[in-house]
Chain A
Amino acid sequence: MNVRVYVTPKEGILDPQGATVERALPALGFQGVAAVRIGKFIEFRLEGGNLTWQQTHEQIDDMCRKLLANPIIEDYRFEIDE
Protein backbone atom coordinates (compact mmCIF):
# COMPACT_ATOMS: atom_id res chain seq x y z
CA MET A 1 0.00 0.00 0.00
CA ASN A 2 1.08 3.59 -0.50
CA VAL A 3 1.27 5.93 2.46
CA ARG A 4 1.39 9.72 2.34
CA VAL A 5 2.27 11.63 5.50
CA TYR A 6 1.77 15.38 5.89
CA VAL A 7 3.74 17.12 8.64
CA THR A 8 2.95 20.76 9.47
CA PRO A 9 3.99 23.20 12.21
CA LYS A 10 1.57 23.04 15.14
CA GLU A 11 -0.87 25.86 15.53
CA GLY A 12 0.71 28.60 17.59
CA ILE A 13 4.23 27.48 16.72
CA LEU A 14 6.17 30.10 14.90
CA ASP A 15 6.89 29.14 11.28
CA PRO A 16 9.65 31.47 10.06
CA GLN A 17 9.63 29.94 6.56
CA GLY A 18 5.87 30.31 6.21
CA ALA A 19 6.02 33.90 7.46
CA THR A 20 8.71 34.79 4.94
CA VAL A 21 6.84 33.23 2.02
CA GLU A 22 3.68 35.01 3.18
CA ARG A 23 5.53 38.33 2.87
CA ALA A 24 7.13 37.38 -0.45
CA LEU A 25 3.91 36.51 -2.30
CA PRO A 26 2.31 39.99 -2.10
CA ALA A 27 5.68 41.43 -3.16
CA LEU A 28 5.25 39.47 -6.40
CA GLY A 29 1.73 40.83 -6.84
CA PHE A 30 -0.23 37.89 -5.40
CA GLN A 31 -2.81 39.40 -3.09
CA GLY A 32 -5.00 37.89 -0.41
CA VAL A 33 -2.55 35.24 0.81
CA ALA A 34 -2.72 34.46 4.54
CA ALA A 35 -1.75 31.79 7.06
CA VAL A 36 1.08 30.23 5.05
CA ARG A 37 2.50 27.19 6.84
CA ILE A 38 5.37 25.18 5.44
CA GLY A 39 5.71 21.54 6.35
CA LYS A 40 6.89 18.24 4.94
CA PHE A 41 5.36 15.65 2.67
CA ILE A 42 6.62 12.10 3.11
CA GLU A 43 5.51 9.15 0.98
CA PHE A 44 6.45 5.51 1.22
CA ARG A 45 5.31 2.02 0.28
CA LEU A 46 4.40 -0.30 3.12
CA GLU A 47 4.13 -4.09 2.90
CA GLY A 48 1.27 -4.59 5.27
CA GLY A 49 1.57 -8.36 5.58
CA ASN A 50 -1.28 -9.79 7.62
CA LEU A 51 -1.97 -6.63 9.59
CA THR A 52 -5.54 -5.44 9.92
CA TRP A 53 -6.43 -1.95 8.76
CA GLN A 54 -6.39 -0.78 12.37
CA GLN A 55 -2.99 -2.33 13.09
CA THR A 56 -1.56 -0.72 9.98
CA HIS A 57 -3.05 2.57 11.03
CA GLU A 58 -1.53 2.27 14.50
CA GLN A 59 1.84 1.31 13.05
CA ILE A 60 1.98 4.41 10.84
CA ASP A 61 0.79 6.58 13.71
CA ASP A 62 3.64 5.17 15.80
CA MET A 63 6.15 5.96 13.01
CA CYS A 64 4.88 9.55 12.93
CA ARG A 65 5.09 10.06 16.68
CA LYS A 66 8.49 8.44 17.07
CA LEU A 67 10.33 9.78 14.06
CA LEU A 68 8.53 11.38 11.12
CA ALA A 69 7.12 14.27 13.16
CA ASN A 70 8.18 15.93 16.40
CA PRO A 71 4.86 16.13 18.30
CA ILE A 72 6.15 19.04 20.39
CA ILE A 73 6.20 21.35 17.39
CA GLU A 74 4.48 19.49 14.55
CA ASP A 75 1.08 18.04 13.66
CA TYR A 76 0.75 15.15 11.24
CA ARG A 77 -1.90 13.33 9.29
CA PHE A 78 -1.65 10.52 6.80
CA GLU A 79 -3.48 8.80 3.96
CA ILE A 80 -3.28 5.15 3.01
CA ASP A 81 -4.00 3.83 -0.50
CA GLU A 82 -4.49 0.10 -0.99
Chain B
Amino acid sequence: MSNSSRVRFGVVVFPGSNCDADSYHALTTFPGVTASYLWHKDTSLGDVQAIVLPGGFSYGDYLRCGAIARFSPIMRAVTSFAQAGGLVLGICNGFQILVEAGLLPGALLRNTGLKFICHYVNLRVETTATPFTRACSEGQLLRVVVKHNDGNYTVDAPTLERMRTNGQIVLRYADAKGGTGADANPNGALENIAAVCNETRNVFGMMPHPENSVETALAGGGDGRHLFQSMIDHLREQAS
Protein backbone atom coordinates (compact mmCIF):
# COMPACT_ATOMS: atom_id res chain seq x y z
CA MET B 1 0.00 0.00 0.00
CA SER B 2 1.54 3.32 -0.99
CA ASN B 3 1.84 6.00 1.62
CA SER B 4 -0.69 8.24 -0.11
CA SER B 5 -3.43 5.62 0.09
CA ARG B 6 -2.97 5.29 3.84
CA VAL B 7 -5.45 6.98 6.14
CA ARG B 8 -3.59 9.62 8.16
CA PHE B 9 -4.70 10.60 11.66
CA GLY B 10 -3.23 13.30 13.87
CA VAL B 11 -3.34 12.97 17.67
CA VAL B 12 -3.00 16.31 19.46
CA VAL B 13 -0.81 16.34 22.57
CA PHE B 14 -1.51 19.02 25.16
CA PRO B 15 0.50 19.41 28.38
CA GLY B 16 -1.39 16.99 30.62
CA SER B 17 -2.83 14.74 27.91
CA ASN B 18 -2.49 11.14 29.08
CA CYS B 19 -4.49 9.10 26.56
CA ASP B 20 -2.51 10.32 23.57
CA ALA B 21 -0.37 7.18 23.38
CA ASP B 22 -3.43 4.94 23.79
CA SER B 23 -5.19 6.78 20.97
CA TYR B 24 -2.12 6.54 18.77
CA HIS B 25 -1.86 2.82 19.49
CA ALA B 26 -5.58 2.21 18.89
CA LEU B 27 -5.41 3.88 15.46
CA THR B 28 -2.34 1.98 14.35
CA THR B 29 -3.96 -1.40 15.10
CA PHE B 30 -5.95 -0.79 11.89
CA PRO B 31 -4.28 -1.88 8.67
CA GLY B 32 -3.43 0.99 6.35
CA VAL B 33 -3.72 3.65 9.03
CA THR B 34 -0.93 5.92 10.17
CA ALA B 35 -0.99 8.28 13.12
CA SER B 36 1.24 11.16 14.08
CA TYR B 37 1.43 13.35 17.14
CA LEU B 38 0.69 17.06 16.86
CA TRP B 39 2.10 19.26 19.62
CA HIS B 40 -0.21 21.88 21.12
CA LYS B 41 2.17 24.65 20.02
CA ASP B 42 2.04 23.56 16.37
CA THR B 43 0.12 25.93 14.13
CA SER B 44 -0.41 23.51 11.24
CA LEU B 45 -1.99 20.06 11.09
CA GLY B 46 0.28 18.92 8.26
CA ASP B 47 -1.32 16.43 5.89
CA VAL B 48 -3.54 14.55 8.35
CA GLN B 49 -7.09 13.66 7.29
CA ALA B 50 -8.63 13.42 10.75
CA ILE B 51 -7.85 14.70 14.22
CA VAL B 52 -8.15 13.04 17.61
CA LEU B 53 -8.18 15.21 20.75
CA PRO B 54 -7.26 12.65 23.41
CA GLY B 55 -8.23 12.30 27.05
CA GLY B 56 -6.24 13.53 29.99
CA PHE B 57 -5.97 16.62 32.14
CA SER B 58 -4.81 19.30 29.74
CA TYR B 59 -3.31 22.23 31.68
CA GLY B 60 -4.19 20.47 34.91
CA ASP B 61 -7.91 21.06 34.33
CA TYR B 62 -7.26 24.56 35.71
CA LEU B 63 -10.24 26.92 35.76
CA ARG B 64 -12.53 24.47 33.91
CA CYS B 65 -11.69 21.23 32.09
CA GLY B 66 -10.60 22.14 28.57
CA ALA B 67 -10.84 25.90 29.16
CA ILE B 68 -7.14 26.64 28.71
CA ALA B 69 -6.38 24.02 26.03
CA ARG B 70 -8.97 25.70 23.88
CA PHE B 71 -6.57 28.63 23.46
CA SER B 72 -3.58 26.48 22.43
CA PRO B 73 -2.09 27.52 19.07
CA ILE B 74 -3.08 24.17 17.52
CA MET B 75 -6.76 24.77 18.30
CA ARG B 76 -6.90 27.57 15.75
CA ALA B 77 -5.86 25.05 13.08
CA VAL B 78 -8.26 22.42 14.49
CA THR B 79 -11.12 24.93 14.35
CA SER B 80 -10.41 25.86 10.71
CA PHE B 81 -10.09 22.17 9.88
CA ALA B 82 -13.44 21.43 11.54
CA GLN B 83 -15.12 24.36 9.84
CA ALA B 84 -13.87 23.07 6.48
CA GLY B 85 -15.55 19.71 7.20
CA GLY B 86 -12.56 17.75 8.56
CA LEU B 87 -13.27 14.89 10.98
CA VAL B 88 -12.50 15.71 14.61
CA LEU B 89 -12.95 13.15 17.38
CA GLY B 90 -12.73 14.40 20.97
CA ILE B 91 -12.46 11.77 23.68
CA CYS B 92 -13.09 12.67 27.34
CA ASN B 93 -10.89 15.74 27.92
CA GLY B 94 -10.95 16.13 24.14
CA PHE B 95 -14.76 16.36 24.34
CA GLN B 96 -14.43 18.96 27.11
CA ILE B 97 -12.07 21.00 24.92
CA LEU B 98 -14.50 20.83 21.96
CA VAL B 99 -17.42 22.17 24.00
CA GLU B 100 -15.25 24.91 25.53
CA ALA B 101 -14.13 25.84 22.00
CA GLY B 102 -17.75 26.06 20.90
CA LEU B 103 -17.24 23.36 18.25
CA LEU B 104 -19.86 21.21 20.00
CA PRO B 105 -23.01 22.33 21.85
CA GLY B 106 -23.41 22.08 25.63
CA ALA B 107 -21.03 21.77 28.55
CA LEU B 108 -19.68 19.09 30.89
CA LEU B 109 -20.32 19.52 34.61
CA ARG B 110 -18.94 17.72 37.64
CA ASN B 111 -20.31 14.15 37.99
CA THR B 112 -23.40 14.14 40.22
CA GLY B 113 -21.68 11.71 42.61
CA LEU B 114 -18.72 14.13 42.92
CA LYS B 115 -16.42 11.17 42.39
CA PHE B 116 -13.98 10.27 39.69
CA ILE B 117 -15.60 7.28 38.01
CA CYS B 118 -13.63 4.50 36.33
CA HIS B 119 -15.54 1.47 35.07
CA TYR B 120 -17.18 -0.16 32.07
CA VAL B 121 -20.40 1.23 30.65
CA ASN B 122 -22.73 0.18 27.86
CA LEU B 123 -23.32 2.72 25.14
CA ARG B 124 -26.38 2.54 22.93
CA VAL B 125 -25.86 3.72 19.37
CA GLU B 126 -28.64 6.25 18.72
CA THR B 127 -27.79 7.02 15.12
CA THR B 128 -25.55 5.51 12.48
CA ALA B 129 -25.87 8.57 10.25
CA THR B 130 -22.50 9.99 11.30
CA PRO B 131 -18.95 9.36 10.04
CA PHE B 132 -18.21 8.09 13.57
CA THR B 133 -20.92 5.44 13.88
CA ARG B 134 -21.62 4.35 10.31
CA ALA B 135 -20.01 0.94 10.91
CA CYS B 136 -22.37 0.32 13.87
CA SER B 137 -26.00 -0.68 13.81
CA GLU B 138 -28.74 1.40 15.39
CA GLY B 139 -29.43 0.28 18.95
CA GLN B 140 -26.14 -1.63 19.10
CA LEU B 141 -24.55 -1.72 22.55
CA LEU B 142 -20.85 -0.92 22.85
CA ARG B 143 -19.02 -1.87 26.01
CA VAL B 144 -16.23 0.59 26.78
CA VAL B 145 -14.80 2.35 29.82
CA VAL B 146 -15.46 5.76 31.31
CA LYS B 147 -12.80 7.44 33.46
CA HIS B 148 -13.63 11.00 34.33
CA ASN B 149 -14.62 13.48 37.02
CA ASP B 150 -16.53 15.95 34.84
CA GLY B 151 -18.66 14.06 32.34
CA ASN B 152 -22.10 15.26 33.30
CA TYR B 153 -23.38 16.55 29.97
CA THR B 154 -25.76 19.49 29.97
CA VAL B 155 -27.26 21.75 27.34
CA ASP B 156 -30.09 24.29 27.30
CA ALA B 157 -33.57 23.09 26.34
CA PRO B 158 -33.91 24.80 22.93
CA THR B 159 -30.51 23.48 21.83
CA LEU B 160 -31.37 19.98 23.09
CA GLU B 161 -34.54 20.07 21.03
CA ARG B 162 -32.57 21.06 17.92
CA MET B 163 -30.04 18.31 18.61
CA ARG B 164 -32.83 15.74 18.86
CA THR B 165 -34.34 16.90 15.59
CA ASN B 166 -30.97 16.83 13.83
CA GLY B 167 -29.94 13.47 15.29
CA GLN B 168 -26.92 14.94 17.05
CA ILE B 169 -27.28 12.75 20.14
CA VAL B 170 -25.12 9.85 19.02
CA LEU B 171 -24.50 7.61 22.06
CA ARG B 172 -26.39 7.17 25.34
CA TYR B 173 -25.41 5.33 28.52
CA ALA B 174 -27.53 2.19 28.71
CA ASP B 175 -28.02 -0.93 30.78
CA ALA B 176 -27.26 -4.42 29.46
CA LYS B 177 -30.66 -4.56 27.78
CA GLY B 178 -30.28 -1.18 26.12
CA GLY B 179 -32.52 0.70 28.56
CA THR B 180 -31.48 4.29 29.24
CA GLY B 181 -32.88 4.74 32.74
CA ALA B 182 -31.28 6.65 35.61
CA ASP B 183 -29.64 3.46 36.92
CA ALA B 184 -27.59 3.24 33.72
CA ASN B 185 -26.41 6.84 34.05
CA PRO B 186 -22.89 6.97 35.56
CA ASN B 187 -22.48 10.73 35.93
CA GLY B 188 -25.86 12.47 35.85
CA ALA B 189 -25.62 13.41 32.16
CA LEU B 190 -28.79 14.93 30.73
CA GLU B 191 -30.86 12.18 29.07
CA ASN B 192 -27.93 9.74 29.53
CA ILE B 193 -26.03 11.54 26.78
CA ALA B 194 -22.54 10.10 26.32
CA ALA B 195 -21.67 11.47 22.88
CA VAL B 196 -22.84 14.22 20.56
CA CYS B 197 -21.91 15.57 17.15
CA ASN B 198 -22.20 19.02 15.59
CA GLU B 199 -24.86 19.94 13.04
CA THR B 200 -22.61 19.15 10.10
CA ARG B 201 -21.74 15.77 11.71
CA ASN B 202 -17.96 16.07 11.29
CA VAL B 203 -17.12 16.97 14.90
CA PHE B 204 -17.84 14.31 17.51
CA GLY B 205 -17.25 14.27 21.26
CA MET B 206 -17.64 11.40 23.70
CA MET B 207 -16.80 10.94 27.38
CA PRO B 208 -16.09 7.16 27.22
CA HIS B 209 -12.81 5.83 25.84
CA PRO B 210 -13.06 3.76 22.65
CA GLU B 211 -9.25 3.74 22.37
CA ASN B 212 -9.07 1.47 25.42
CA SER B 213 -11.26 -1.17 23.77
CA VAL B 214 -9.50 -2.09 20.56
CA GLU B 215 -7.82 -5.37 21.49
CA THR B 216 -10.21 -8.27 21.01
CA ALA B 217 -7.70 -10.62 22.67
CA LEU B 218 -7.87 -8.68 25.94
CA ALA B 219 -10.62 -8.72 28.55
CA GLY B 220 -11.70 -5.21 27.55
CA GLY B 221 -12.98 -6.45 24.21
CA GLY B 222 -12.89 -4.58 20.95
CA ASP B 223 -16.11 -2.58 20.88
CA GLY B 224 -14.24 0.70 20.53
CA ARG B 225 -13.07 -0.46 17.09
CA HIS B 226 -16.46 0.22 15.52
CA LEU B 227 -16.06 3.97 16.00
CA PHE B 228 -12.55 4.13 14.55
CA GLN B 229 -13.59 1.78 11.73
CA SER B 230 -16.44 4.15 10.91
CA MET B 231 -14.03 7.09 10.58
CA ILE B 232 -11.59 5.05 8.48
CA ASP B 233 -14.38 3.85 6.14
CA HIS B 234 -15.58 7.42 5.78
CA LEU B 235 -12.10 8.75 5.00
CA ARG B 236 -11.41 5.97 2.47
CA GLU B 237 -14.69 6.66 0.73
CA GLN B 238 -13.89 10.39 0.59
CA ALA B 239 -10.46 9.68 -0.89
CA SER B 240 -11.73 7.34 -3.61
Which residues from chain A sit less than 8 Å from chain B, CB to CB? 13-14, 16-17, 20, 67-68, 70, 72-73
Contact = CB atoms under 8 A, between A and B. Distances in A.
Contact of A14 (B99, B106, B155, B188): B188
Given A14-B154, A16-B114, A16-B188, A73 B109 contact: yes
Closest 8 CB pairs of A and B: A73-B107, A72-B107, A16-B112, A16-B110, A16-B114, A20-B114, A70-B64, A70-B107
A43 to B, nearest CB: 14
A70 B100 contact: yes
A72 B160 CA distance: 13
The interface residues of chain B, by DSSP majority, are classed as loop
A63 to B, nearest CB: 12
B84 interface: no
Contacts of A70: 64, 67, 100, 107
A72 B114 contact: no
A17 B149 CA distance: 12
Contacts of B63: 67-68
25 contacts: A13-B109, A14-B112, A14-B152, A14-B154, A14-B188, A16-B109, A16-B113, A16-B114, A16-B188, A17-B110, A17-B114, A20-B114, A67-B63, A67-B71, A68-B63, A70-B67, A70-B100, A70-B107, A72-B99, A72-B106, A72-B107, A72-B155, A72-B156, A73-B109, A73-B154
Given A70-B64, A72-B156, A73-B109, 5 more contacts: A14-B109, A16-B112, A16-B152, A72-B155, A73-B154
Contacts of B100: 70
Contacts of A67: 63, 67, 71
A64 to B, nearest CB: 12
B111 interface: yes
B152 A13 contact: no
A37 to B, nearest CB: 13
B150 to A, nearest CB: 10
A13 B154 contact: yes
A72 to B, nearest CB: 5
Interface string B66-109: 01000100000000000000000000000000011000001101
Contacts of A16: 109-114, 152, 188
